[in-house]
Amino acid sequence: MSAVRLDGKAAAAAVKEELRERVKALAARGRTAGLGTILVGDDPGSRAYVAGKHRDCAEVGIASIRRDLPASATQDEVLAAVAELNVDPACTGFLVQLPLPSGVDEQAVLTAVDPDKDADGLHPVNLGKLVLGMPGPLPCTPRGILALLRRYEVPVAGAEVVVIGRGVTVGRPLGLLLSRRSENATVTLCHTGTRELAGHTRRADIVVAAAGVPGLLTADMVRPGAAVLDVGITRAERDGKVKLVGDVAPEVAEVAGFLAPMPGGAGPMTRAMLLANVVERAERDH
Ligand SMILES: Nc1nc2c(c(=O)[nH]1)N[C@@H](CN(C=O)c1ccc(C(=O)N[C@@H](CCC(=O)O)C(=O)O)cc1)CN2
């Protein structure tokens, strides 16, 4: 591999170290940050991510509150769990793990979260603040990607960025974040239906692949020296074992100048940025 590895694990460890001190400072002022999670159903990926979030909280000194509901939970039951955390004083911020089972209206659930307790930055009010450039919690993966690029001094201002994927947790908010006046990138938001995808990616200084299509971005689609971030995760069964596969083909490492791999790139930073959102919210109160 010739690309410089954008090491999300190391970057996340540094963020967590700093947050641990801030949590101690909050405790000295009698304030405990508390993250709540609502998990519906038994998707193995979602279970693992939620468990990871609670482990991270324990590491940093944030209290955690779990609400796990069965896959058969009704929309009203999910909304009741949201209403409960909205008023729980021990919970200073919370999230609803996505995706929700079919039959539960994701937008209705996200909208029911108190925007002031929205640890994920996915409430319409907070996404609106992102559009307007107002301060507010930022979605965790986009925030983590920006932090990772900054840590490795990958130039963002003036860069041509191609984001592949228009989902609510990554592609769409990342496009908004990087095109803000303060970041000043020129962003093209592509998706699996984009005609001539390679024509866009070959012109890019930075490519973020978040479409959830294994091996979608191949070496011939990348300008030599470009920064590539693999944010796609597909759980594929190979030889009876579940394997995680990213959107970026392995040969891209020979062409790119920087590569955030999956695993070990944007994923750990997603987790670290959730903690940052929770700590910032608790600090705002005191
Ligand atoms: N409410 C939310 N739901 C979802 C979000 C989100 O930000 N908020 N993002 C993803 C899932 N996610 C966090 O929730 C997440 C995904 C991946 C990782 C991660 O660390 N990935 C590892 C590889 C996977 C593994 O080891 O199992 C990596 O890239 O190194 C963390 C969090 C969708 N849902």
Q: Is 93 annotated as a binding residue?
A: no
pTM metric for this prediction: 0.97
CA–chain centroid gap for 255, Å, is 26
Q: How far apart are CA 212 and CA 245, in angstroms?
A: 9
Which residue, chain included where needed, has tokens 């999670």?
37
CA atoms within 13 A on the CB side of 15: 27
Is 75 an active-site residue? no
Pocket of ligand 1 (CB under 6 A): 48-49, 95-98, 120, 140-141, 169, 233, 244, 262-264, 267-268, 270-271
Q: Which of 56, 54, 50 is nearest to 38 (CA)?
A: 50
pLDDT of residue 93: 97
Average pLDDT, 10 consecutive residues per value, the chain (286 residues): 94 98 96 97 96 98 98 98 97 97 97 98 98 96 98 98 97 98 97 97 98 98 98 92 96 98 98 98 84
Q: How far apart are CA 175 and CA 265, in angstroms?
A: 18
Interface confidence: ipTM more than 0.90: yes
Tokens of 47: 């279970």
Q: How far apart are CA 74 and CA 62, in angstroms?
A: 30
Is 107 an active-site residue? no
* Closest-lying ligand 1 atom to the alpha carbon of residue 141: 7
Asked whether the bond before 70 is cis by omega within 30 degrees of 0, the reply is no
CATH number of 140-265: 3.40.50.720
The active-site residue, picked from 16, 53, 117, 230, is 53
Q: Is 145 annotated as a binding residue?
A: no
C-beta of residue 207 within 8 angstroms of C-beta of residue 164: yes
Q: How far apart are CA 22 and CA 249, in angstroms?
A: 39
Domain boundaries defined on the chain: 140-265
Burial class (CB in 10 A: 0-12, 13-18, 19+), 47: middle
pLDDT of residue 238: 85
The full 3-state SS of 146-170, as one line of letters, equals: HHHHHHCCCCCCCCEEEEECCCCCC
Cβ neighbours for 282, distance < 8 A, ≥ 6 positions apart: 26, 31, 32, 33, 92, 93
Residue 98 CA to ligand 1 center (angstroms) comes to 10
